[in-house]
Amino acid sequence: MSDCIFCKIVEGEIPSTIVYEDDAVVAFEDLNPQMPVHTLVVPKKHYDNIGDGIPDTELGAVFNAANKVAAMKGIAESGYRVIVNTNDDAQQSVHHLHVHVLGGAPMNSGSPALDEAD
């Protein structure tokens, strides 16, 4: 059995607030939101990060789902960021590929929205 926390969320073994799901991905609310909207989109299949040889179809599914989440949350027009932290310098803390969908308020120009979270 995997120790990966996001695999457990995908499998429904630990609770989460799921906002979108399809054959390839699950989107759920971040436990520690950094913005009014802070949703994570993960592939159902485990990949450590974006450099883990992800097929184009699955990578596309993740980003298309991020766009759907933004529309569902009403931030597609006002604006949002999609952030993919990868490995140590980027402070990736959960090693199951995930994209952060962040929005609902103005963000600083060019500064990574999650910098102040750590």
For ligand AMP, the closer CB: 68 or 100: 100
CA 114/CA 94 separation, integer angstroms? 14
Distance of closest approach, residue 64 Cβ to ligand AMP, in angstroms: 20
- What are residue 28's DSSP bridge partners? 18, 40
Q: Does 105 bind ligand AMP (CB under 6 A)?
A: no
Distance of closest approach, residue 38 Cβ to ligand AMP, in angstroms: 7
Which one of the spans 54-62, 64-72, 85-93, 102-110 is the region binding ligand AMP (CB under 6 A)? 85-93
Question: What DSSP state is assigned to residue 40?
Answer: E
Q: Which two tokens stand for residue 54?
A: 């992800």
Q: Does 91 bind ligand AMP (CB under 6 A)?
A: yes
The site for ligand AMP (CB under 6 A) is made up of 5, 16, 28, 30-32, 40, 85, 91-94
